[in-house]
Amino acid sequence: MALPPRVDIRTTIEAGSVYYFHDSNLTSPDPHYFIVLNKNPQTDGVLLLVCASSRLDAVRRRRALRPETVVEISPREYPDFTRDSIVDCNTVFERSIRELQLKFDSGRLQVKAVMSPDTLEKLRDAVLESDMVDGEIQDMLIL
């Protein structure tokens, strides 16, 4: 049996790439979907990721005063989601391609379908609306 070819994250990553993995900065031990926001992830020094959650009510309550900073995504909009999900765009995770590659190589990261450009733009707009996200991160989404 032939082994599948090794995926090189650096050559396959693009704006809207989605990865499914556990991140130690989250309180949940479960893996989550992370979406790449960068316009040029192959050349940027750091990847900007937002994380999807299935805890819609909790995120809505937490961001009730800033609803423009959350994006809800249904399985109709993104078929790899098995349930309605929500992204709190007040939290952006910075990771290197190398970190993701190591997770993939060790079997701790799955590559999913790329997010649609329309949904990706909603996520970027919500990050730009946030007063909790560092201006340098926001600048990377504009340039």
Express each pLDDT in 66-83 by its tens digit.
999 999 999 999 999 999
Nearest CA-CA partner of 51 in 126, 139, 140:
126
Judge whether residue 2 has pLDDT over 50: no
73: containing domain: 16-142
What domain count does the chain have?
A: 1
Judge whether residue 10 has pLDDT over 80: yes
- What gap in Å lies between CA 5 and CA 54, rounded to an integer? 32
- 108, part of any domain: yes
- 2, part of any domain: no
- 7, part of any domain: no
Tell me which amino acid residue 11 is: T
- 33, part of any domain: yes
Convert the pLDDT of each residue in 87-112 to its tens digit.
Answer: 999 999 999 999 999 999 999 999 99
**Average pLDDT of span 20-35:** 92
Q: Give the Å distances, CA to CA, from 101 to 13, 48, 87.
A: 11, 15, 23
pLDDT band for 26, please (50, 70, 90 cuts): confident
Convert the pLDDT of each residue in 120-143 to its tens digit.
Answer: 999 999 999 999 999 999 999 987
- 6, part of any domain: no
Strand partners, 34: 19, 51
CATH code for the domain in which residue 63 is found: 2.30.30.110
pLDDT value, residue 101? 95
pLDDT value, residue 59? 96
- 32, part of any domain: yes
pLDDT band for 5, please (50, 70, 90 cuts): low
| Residue, of 101 and 8, whose pLDDT is higher | 101
DSSP 39-85: SSTTTSSSEEEEEEES-HHHHHHHTTT-GGGEEEE-TTTSTT-SS-E
| Residue, of 7 and 44, whose pLDDT is higher | 44
- 135, part of any domain: yes
- 4, part of any domain: no
Judge whether residue 52 has pLDDT over 60: yes
Judge whether residue 3 has pLDDT over 90: no
Q: Residue written as tokens 């790449």?
A: 36
